[in-house]
Amino acid sequence: MVLFVDLIRKAIFFPIVLILALSSGAAQAAPVVIEKKFANCTALNKVYPGGVSKSAKAVNKGGKTKQTPTVNLRVYNENKTKDRDGDGIACER
Ligand SMILES: [Ca+2]
């Protein structure tokens, strides 16, 4: 009887472990957004044509821009030095 219960337990437990292993593997295979420090605005604008803003509330205080910046605080923080006028948008154009 003990052996039978043990078999049932394994029959239930192992598929769960397998599903968890497979689902975590799938999560790792999902596309990863690369948040990096770009060498300069030319490189950054190839990925983010309108630059990167730290928040949707950031207002451009420089000249008129043609593109809408992408809101991404992490990318902004990595490239903060490129926001020369300090308006919260790096490499706006
Ligand atoms: Ca700026």
Rounded (10°) CA dihedral 50, 56, 58, 61: 40
Provide, rounded to the nearest whole percent, the portion of the chain with pLDDT above 70. Answer: 65
- The CA-atom distances, in angstroms, between 80 and each of 27, 39, 72, 86 are 30, 12, 12, 8
- pLDDT tens digits along 36-70: 999 999 999 999 999 999 999 999 998 899 999 99
pLDDT band at 82 (very low <50, low <70, confident <90, very high): very high
What does the domain layout of the chain look like in residue ranges? Answer: 41-90
Higher per-residue pLDDT: 51 or 4: 51
How far is the centre of ligand 1, averaged over its atoms, from the C-alpha of 74 (Å)? 16
**Two tokens at 40?**
């300069």
How far is the centre of ligand 1, averaged over its atoms, from the C-alpha of 83 (Å)? 4
The answer to whether 45 and 74 have CB atoms below 8 angstroms apart is no
How far is the centre of ligand 1, averaged over its atoms, from the C-alpha of 82 (Å)? 7
